Amino acid sequence: MTGQREERTTPAVRPYVITRGRSGAASPELPWETLVVAVAADPPAGPSGLQPEHRRILGHCQGLLSVAEIAAHLGQPPSVVQVLLGDLVDWGLITTRPPVPAAERTDVTMLRKVLHGLESRL
Amino acid sequence: MVSKAASDQPVVPHDAAQPGAGGGPDPEQHYVRSSVAGAAKILVVGPLGVGKTTLIGAVSEIKPLSTEAVMSQAGARVDRGGERTKTTTTVALDFGRITIDGELVLYLFGTPGQQRFLPAWRELARGALGALALVDTRDLEASFDALGHLEDLGLPFAVAVNAFPGSPDHGEQRLREALDLLPQTPLVVCDAREYRSSVQALIALVSHLINAAEPT
Ligand SMILES: Nc1nc2c(ncn2[C@@H]2O[C@H](COP(=O)(O)OP(=O)(O)O)[C@@H](O)[C@H]2O)c(=O)[nH]1
Ligand SMILES: [Mg+2]
């Protein structure tokens, strides 16, 4: 078996155009599991920088969803979606719920909660 | 005027046809519960064909989704003024979701283990609780890259042997030696196609994380 299904080489043009050349590498503050939600049901007419891609994202965040889910639904790499979500955060159009912070990830109480959550699914 | 009241209500998306949700999405399942404060993540790692996507599909409350990570290798970055002829290498990553309780959701990211995909791990591994490493006993060596990389990253992990028909039974001790596992690293057998078996593999990992976190 080859790795074909998992690896693809594509021209970088489209993501480059969508983000106007900005790289997602500058957005480590929005990890893939960050949850986001639109502030309003209908995005306002302005600001002028709002592109169709921004509106499509807003359409997908009418409830809480992760950055990864939004990227998958849009068919765009998360690195592109992170840049566009960063714009929407700056414009006050979405709010974010950051991942469980570092101190809690090794906290026994939090981990037990995960354990019990999984056990209750058996 | 921006209305804040709407944000906590689960609203059916304007674009009702969600790609990837066969037979129309259940809006209750599509969005994360509005009471959830934040997410945690676990990586499911292993070589191609070991059963990562199968395991994620077995336990996920949403149909597993696929997204393409751009590997941040030299020359792959899309820079300002980047040339149009530049190419980026992308890796397909499958992921799923489990709601733990009203406050927490867990994401499972399937991460391919071959050496050339390891650069894609860096961003994903940051902030992960730990990893479940899937092993196919018909080809143990195929798992070495992934296991070695988990050790390099310092990410705690459990090993789950995904049993295929005709998989040789090496016996636990020989398997531990072959994979060079620490005595405390959990080693379980699972069938990635089965819900209970896959949840139990995750339970083995989280129990291990608790042991590691508990002051002795
Ligand atoms: N017999 C058997 N087949 C499995 C098992 N897990 C996965 N498979 C099959 O192995 C193939 C590869 O699995 P997949 O989940 O796509 O592997 P991935 O590349 O790691 O995501 C698929 O055809 C699965 O149906 C298992 O536990 N037992
Ligand atoms: Mg897969």
- The residue ranges of chain A whose pLDDT is under 50 are 1-4, 10-14, 16, 24-27
Q: How many interface pairs between A and B have CB atoms less than 8 angstroms apart?
A: 228
Number of structural domains (chain A) is 1
A5 found inside a domain: no
**Confidence tier at B10 by pLDDT (50, 70, 90):** very low
Give the CATH number for residue A76.
1.10.10.10
Residue owning the nearest CA to atom 7 of ligand 1: B51
Q: Which atom of ligand 1 is the closest one to the Cα of B194? A: 27
Residue showing tokens 């003024």: B81
Mean pLDDT for chain B? 83
pTM for this predicted structure? 0.84
State the DSSP code for B117: G
A97 found inside a domain: yes
- The 10s digit of each residue's pLDDT in B163-173 is 888 888 889 99
> Taking the mean position of all CA atoms in its chain, how far away is CA A26?
14
Please say if the pLDDT value at position B200 is more than 80: yes
Q: Which residue has the higher pLDDT, A26 or B176?
A: B176
Tell me the C-alpha distance between B43 and B45, whole Å: 6
CA of A6 to the centre of ligand 2 (A): 7
A2 found inside a domain: no
* Inter-chain CB proximity B38 and A35 less than 8 Å: yes
Ligand 1 pocket: which residues have CB below 6 Å? B 46, 48-54, 110, 162-165, 191-193
Residue owning the nearest CA to atom 8 of ligand 1: B51
Which of B32, B90, B202 is the closest to A77 by Cβ? B90
Domains of chain B from N-terminus onward: 34-213 (3.40.50.300)
Which of A21, A66, A95 is the closest to B107 by Cβ? A66
A10 found inside a domain: no
Structural domain boundaries enclosing A102: 15-121
A32 found inside a domain: yes
Closest ligand to the CA of B51: 1
Q: Which residues of A24-61 are buried (b: 16+ CB within 10 A; e: fewer)?
A: beebeebbbbbbbbbbbeebeeeeeebeebbebbbbbb
Please say if the pLDDT value at position B100 is more than 60: yes
pLDDT confidence of residue B87: 59
